[in-house]
Amino acid sequence: MASSSATTSVKERLTPREMQIAELVAQRLTNAQISAALWITEHTVKQALKRMFRKLEISSRAELVARIAKSGDKLAAS
């Protein structure tokens, strides 16, 4: 049986804030740059990425961007 993360839209699995973080990851920003852009701590960014990786059953930023592209989910406009 296929994993639910493979058949469910990334947008359906991630919160709006996690999608914001994913957009910035796709723009190749570092955790520090993401934290500054969103006015959150770097620790918060790291924890959000851990949750996102767990939810999507992935282990890297590259996989995150690829999963979003594969699912056809549009990231928010910059």
The average pLDDT across 49-77 equals 88
Residue 40, in any domain of the structure: yes
**What domain range is 40 assigned to?**
14-67
Q: The domain spanning residue 24 has which CATH number?
A: 1.10.10.10
Q: Which residue has the higher pLDDT, 71 or 4?
A: 71
The one-character DSSP state at 14 is S
pLDDT above 90 (res 6):
no
CA distance linking residue 54 with residue 37, whole number of Å: 24
- Name the H helices within the chain: 4-7, 10-13, 16-26, 31-38, 42-56, 61-71
Residue 35, in any domain of the structure: yes
Confidence of residue 3 (pLDDT cuts 50, 70, 90): low
Counting the structural domains of the chain, the total is: 1
